[in-house]
């Protein structure tokens, strides 16, 4: 690897870490925010939970601790690096799988809860539709989908901050999804009914609970 390439990788890693720190700082830090998400979902002992686009597994591990050994948690991510976090979860009821969220390798009606935290904005329109349909298939009747995503507030300053944050940190697809404000419509269109919606971070982040409707 060339010296310039190494420098670019180091700078990219530093830049992403810095943005991540700045992003979670007003929310009390990443762990504090993740715990709020778990409280919002009312994770209980024995829950069967699917965590789609689980990334480094931070949220997945917190869910597993709350669900205890009577539960079963599966974290799914497209990146093979997810398999490396398995070593740190030997005492938790977690399985990590490298798989595409558009074609989940699970039988229908397996989970009672599913999380997608900051994952949908990485996908294009078709990818989001396919993922939401697959999640719906794997949920039990009346099972709950919990989505954590960016939101475009109505207040001018908060709206400006959200636009800048997503523009700097995320892809053009994420920015387009933010500006279109079409997340709720997309969730409903794939067979879910919105139960609750909560805003945090000055309105820049939304927590959504959606229920799987009957066929």
Q: What is the pLDDT of residues 61-107, one digit of tens each?
A: 999 999 888 889 999 998 877 667 665 677 788 999 999 999 999 99
Mean pLDDT, residues 13-37 taken together? 67
How many helices (DSSP H) and strands (DSSP E) are in the chain? 7, 7
Domain boundaries, the chain: 29-212
The one-character DSSP state at 44 is -
Q: What share of the chain in percent tops pLDDT 70?
A: 83
Residue 15 confidence (pLDDT) = 43
Which CATH number is 29-212 given? 3.40.50.150
Q: Tell me the per-residue pLDDT of 167-179, one tens digit each, with 9 for 90 and over.
A: 877 788 888 998 9
Nearest to 148 by CA among 48, 27, 64, 65: 27
* Residue 27 burial class via C-beta count within 10 angstroms: exposed 0-12, middle 13-18, buried 19 and up: middle
SS3 content of the chain, % helix, strand, coil (to 5): 50, 25, 25
């Amino acid at each position: 690897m060339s010296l310039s390439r190494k420098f670019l990788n180091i700078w990219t890693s530093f830049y992403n870490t810095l943005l991540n720190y700045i992003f979670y700082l007003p929310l009390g830090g990443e762990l504090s925010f993740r715990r709020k998400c778990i409280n919002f979902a009312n994770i209980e002992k024995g829950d069967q939970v699917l965590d789609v686009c689980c990334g480094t597994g931070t949220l997945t591990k917190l869910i597993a601790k709350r669900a205890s050994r009577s539960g079963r948690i599966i974290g799914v991510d497209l990146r093979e690096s997810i398999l490396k976090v398995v070593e740190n979860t030997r005492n938790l009821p977690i399985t990590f799988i490298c798989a595409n969220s558009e074609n989940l390798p699970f039988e229908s009606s397996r989970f009672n809860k599913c999380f997608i935290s900051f994952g949908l904005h990485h996908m294009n329109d078709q990818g989001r539709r396919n993922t939401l349909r697959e999640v719906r298939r794997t949920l039990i009747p009346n099972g709950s989908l919990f989505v954590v995503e960016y939101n475009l507030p109505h207040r001018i300053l908060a709206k400006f901050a959200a636009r800048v944050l997503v523009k700097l940190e995320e892809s053009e697809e994420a920015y387009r999804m933010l500006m279109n404000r079409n997340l709720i419509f997309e969730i409903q269109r794939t067979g879910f009914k919105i139960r609750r919606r909560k805003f945090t971070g000055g309105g820049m982040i939304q927590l959504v609970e959606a229920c799987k409707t009957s066929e």
